[in-house]
Structure 1
Amino acid sequence: MNCDRHPEREGVASCIICGRILCEECRLKLGGKNYCERCADKLFRERVESGEEKRKGMGLGVKILIAILIILGILAVLSYLIYSVYLAPYYGSPENVLRILMNDPERIIRFLGTRIST
């Protein structure tokens, strides 16, 4: 049998979806299976569209988790900036600042209140 698109060429395979006879040039071998160009395009479009739907359908739980992670990241950056700009020059190491925060948090709050407001 000859190729459906090129009647002058000998067919070497058939499409597993539509059964068209394919020559070596027309045959698309994907995952060890033979496809014609039309069926491979259709299969590819279906997979892309189903992948887009999955990405569009991100659940509420995932969105909340992302929001929480972003907020925690912002808080971490702000904490580092407050420490490095205001607290480190006066109280030294982060361990010292944490010890003061655990024992006497009002001391740090008063200190920051006077520094940040001026």
Structure 2
Amino acid sequence: MIQGSGRCHYHPERTGLGICVECRRVICRECTTQFEGINRCASCLGKRLQALEGPAERRDWSVGNVLLALLGVGVVYVGVWVLSTMASGF
């Protein structure tokens, strides 16, 4: 699709109505969505909405987190045991 041809980027058989402010592609009436008072195509609108939602929700305790916590407790336990053995040996 040649940009500036006046045909919709997504539907070449349709006449373009406007230009998406994000990607600067010509879009037809069906592809135009106004969000925050600005025309965007569906692809750019999806990216914009995803950015506004923020990062995905975290799970507090996954299996990896539990294993990492157990490993940390084990390292601390072994460290305390080594220090107590060294202290009693002197």
C-alpha displacement of 1:31: 2.1
Given the alignment of the two structures, is residue 45 of structure 1 paired with residue 50 of structure 2, yes or no? yes
Instruction: Report the 3-state secondary structure (helix = DSSP H, G, I; strand = E; otherwise coil) of the residue aligned with 2:54.
Output: helix
Query: 1:28 is aligned with what amino acid?
Result: T
**Relative contact order (C-alpha < 8 Å, sep 6+): which is higher?**
2
Query: 2:35 is aligned with what amino acid?
Result: L
> Deviation string for 1:63-100 (max 9, x for gaps)?
xxxxxxxxxxxxxxxxxxxxxxxxxxxxxxxxxxxxxx
Identity %: 35
Query: 1:17 is aligned with what amino acid?
Result: E
Instruction: Report the 3-state secondary structure (helix = DSSP H, G, I; strand = E; otherwise coil) of the residue aligned with 1:29.
Output: strand
C-alpha displacement of 1:39: 0.7
Q: Measure the CA separation in 1 of the matches of 2:35 and 2:18.
A: 13
Q: Measure the CA separation in 2 of the matches of 1:39 and 1:4.
A: 13
Q: How many positions carry a matched residue from both structures? A: 53
Q: Measure the CA separation in 1 of the matches of 2:34 and 2:52.
A: 17
Segments of 5+ residues of structure 1 without an aligned counterpart are 53-118
Segments of 5+ residues of structure 2 without an aligned counterpart are 1-5, 58-90
> Which of the residues 8, 14, 26 maps onto 1:3?
8
| Moved beyond 4 Å, runs of 4+ | none
Query: 1:37 is aligned with what amino acid?
Result: A
Q: What is the correspondence of 1:76-95 to structure 2 with a 5 Å cutoff?
A: none
Q: TM-score, normalised by structure 1?
A: 0.41
Q: Measure the CA separation in 2 of the matches of 1:33 and 1:46.
A: 16
Q: Indicate the structure with greater helix content.
A: 1
Instruction: Please tell me whether Structure 1 or Structure 2 has the larger radius of gyration of its CA atoms.
Output: 1
Q: What is the correspondence of 1:88-107 to structure 2 with a 5 Å cutoff?
A: none
> Which of the residues 22, 25, 29 maps onto 1:17?
22
C-alpha displacement of 1:30: 1.1
Q: What is the RMSD of the two structures over their aligned residues, measured on CA atoms?
A: 1.9
